[in-house]
């Protein structure tokens, strides 16, 4: 599982995902990185929970949820403005 968490970290901090986040967040690279970090933190919190474990979701679906939420100016963090929910092996924005 630790390996999958690291893969998710690398993927959501990749240049392509950060560029999409940056575009959605008004061109601010620091905001994009902060956003990716907050989402990664939330994903780590779910690891090991059979009902909520987002580490089993496809990385592409996680990244898409992040970009969609950022586009709508919703935070995926402890404030719970938006959630990433696991449906099988796919992450969905709620």
What predicted TM-score, i.e. pTM, was given to this entire model? Answer: 0.89
pLDDT of residue 77: 79
Token match 């999958």: residue? 4
pLDDT of residue 80: 74
pLDDT of residue 79: 78
pLDDT in tens, 40-87: 999 999 999 999 999 999 999 999 999 999 999 898 877 778 899 999
Residue 93: band (very low, low, confident or very high) from pLDDT cuts 50, 70, 90: very high
Parallel, antiparallel or unpaired: strands 90-93 and 84-87:
antiparallel
- Distance (Å, whole) CA 75 – CA 81: 6
């Amino acid at each position: 599982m630790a390996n999958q968490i690291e893969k998710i970290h690398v993927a959501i901090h990749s240049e392509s995902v950060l560029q999409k986040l940056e575009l959605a967040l008004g061109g601010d690279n620091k905001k994009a990185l902060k956003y990716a970090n907050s989402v990664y933190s939330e994903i780590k919190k779910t690891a090991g929970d059979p009902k909520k474990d987002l580490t089993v979701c496809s990385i592409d679906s996680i990244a898409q949820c992040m970009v969609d939420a950022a586009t709508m100016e919703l935070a995926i963090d402890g404030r719970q403005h938006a959630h990433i929910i696991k449906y099988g092996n796919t992450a969905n924005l709620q």
